[in-house]
Amino acid sequence: AMAAERAVAMATCTAPVNIAVIKYWGKRDTDLILPINSSLSVTLHQDQLRTTTTAVASRDFTEDRLWLNGAEADVGHPRVQACLREVRRLARKRRGGSEDAATLGLLSYKVHIASENNFPTAAGLASSAAGYACLVSALARLYGVEDELSEVARRGSGSACRSMWGGFVQWQRGERPDGTDSVALQVAPETHWPELRVLVLVVSGEKKPVASTAGMQTSVETSPLLKHRAEVVVPERLAQMMRHIRERDFEGFGQLAMRDSNQFHATCLDTFPPIFYLNDLSRHIISLAHRYNAHHGHTKVAYTFDAGPNAVIFTLDDTVDEFVEVVRRSFPPATNGDQFVRGLPVGSATLSQELVTAVVTEPVPGAVQYILHTKPGPGPQLVDDPSQHLLGADGLPRCRA
C-alpha cells in the first residue's frame, strides 16, 4: 500500500554505441523493424562513448516530455512512442493484471525523459543505437521489466537492439512475422578478447549523408546485390565471423570485417539512385590500412564504415601506438594537436624509414579531426548515484555543470 502511493519514480541508465562487423542493411518489415539479414557487432566501451538517460514518472505530470542533449524534443516521434508503448505492455504482462499496484499506478502516470551523449552528435558517430538502447533500459528499470528488451530497442532503431548487450552481439534476423524471434543475443562478453582495440577516426568537414532508414529502403527496392548479400553472403559470413571471434583470430576477423564493410558500401553504389557514404578521405584511410597490413605481411588493422565517412579501425593493443603514429603522419593535425588523440592512452612510437616510405605516401593535413581510442565494453548500466540523474525531483532538466 505504501508503494502504491509513490507519487514519483525515477531511473537513470547508460548505454553503449555498437559497431557492426557484419552489417545490417535492409528491412523486410519497416514498421516492426525486421531485417533482411542477421548482423553482428562489437559493443564499444562506455568510458569513451555513452548515452545517459533519466526517466521519471509522476502523478503530477500533465504530459509526456522528452529532452535530447538539453533541448526539448518531440516525444510524439513514432519510434519513441513504440518503445514507450512496448515497455509499458511488458510491464502490464509481467505484473499480470492488478497485483502490483505501485507499477499500475506508475503506468498511469505521464513520463519525463532526458537523454544526453557524452560525445558530440556532430561527430557523426551512430548515436541512435545508444540512444534507443538507453531509453528502453531506463524505462524498463522504471517499470520493473527485465526480459525481451532487445525486441523493444529494435523498435527504436534496428541497430539499437545490439546495444542491449556488451561484448560481441548477434542480431538474429528471425523468421516470425511478429518479430518475437528477431532479437539480439550475446556471442561473447567483452572480457573474451582483452587485446582487441578500437580507433575511431573522426574525419573533418562531414556533410549530413542520406539517413540509414531511408537509404536502406531504397536499397531493398532497387539493389539486386543487396538481395544476394542477404540471402547468400551474410549467412555464410555470420558463421565464419562467429568462429573468428570464438578463436580470437584477428586475421580472420579483420579480413571479414573489411570485406563486409566494403560489400555494404557496394550495395549502396548498387542502389538506384546510388548512395555514397564513403568520401575521398575514407578511401585514403582504406588504402592506408591495406598498405600498412601489406608492409607487415598480415592483417594488423581492419577498417569498417557505417552510413558516413568516419572510419572505425579494429586492431590489437600491441599495434595501437604504431598505427596511431602512422595516422598522425598521414593526416597531420591542423591545429588542436594536443587533443588529436582522445580516450584510452596511446604511447609514442618511432616509425622505421621503411614503414614511412611504404605506408605514409601522401599526407593530407587536417583531414582527420581526431582519433578516439576505445575498446569493447559492457552493455547498459544502471546509474545508482542520484547526482547523475539528468532530471530533478520536479521532473525538469537539471543545470549541467
Residues lying near ligand DP6 in the complex (CB under 6 A): 20, 23-25, 33, 39, 126, 128, 157-159, 212-213, 306-307
Residue 24 or 109: which CB sits closer to ligand DP6? 24
By 3-state DSSP, what share of the chain in percent is helix, strand and coil, each rounded to 5? 40, 25, 35
Measured from the Cβ of residue 16, the count of other Cβ atoms closer than 10 Å reads 31
Closest approach of Cβ 39 to ligand DP6, in Å? Answer: 5
Packing angle of the helix pair 78-95, 101-108 (nearest 10 deg): 160
Residue 58 or 212: which CB sits closer to ligand DP6? 212
Distance CA 62, CA 246 (A): 51
Residue 43 or 157: which CB sits closer to ligand DP6? 157
Residue 169 or 391: which CB sits closer to ligand DP6? 169
Closest approach of Cβ 219 to ligand DP6, in Å? Answer: 10
Residue 102 or 262: which CB sits closer to ligand DP6? 262
Closest approach of Cβ 264 to ligand DP6, in Å? Answer: 6
Residue 48 or 267: which CB sits closer to ligand DP6? 267
Residue 83 or 126: which CB sits closer to ligand DP6? 126
One-letter amino acid of 310: N
| Selection from 234, 216, 204, 203 nearest residue 275 by Cα | 216
Taking the CA of residue 70 as centre, how many other CA atoms within 13 Å lie in the half-sphere pointing to its CB?
8
DSSP 163-226: GGSSSEEEE---S-TT-TT--EEEEE-GGG-TTEEEEEEEESSPPP---HHHHHHHHHHH-HHH
Residue nearest to ligand DP6 (CB): 158
Closest approach of Cβ 68 to ligand DP6, in Å? Answer: 16
Closest approach of Cβ 77 to ligand DP6, in Å? Answer: 12
Residue entry with cell 575498446: 375
What per-residue string of b and e applies to 382-394 under the rule 16 or more CB within 10 Å gives b?
ebeeeeebbbeee
Pairing verdict, β 184-188 and 168-171:
antiparallel
Residue 11 or 83: which CB sits closer to ligand DP6? 83
Closest approach of Cβ 35 to ligand DP6, in Å? Answer: 8
Closest approach of Cβ 27 to ligand DP6, in Å? Answer: 7
Distance CA 258, CA 253 (A): 9
Distance from first CA to last CA of the chain, Å, rounded?
Answer: 38
Closest approach of Cβ 342 to ligand DP6, in Å? Answer: 22
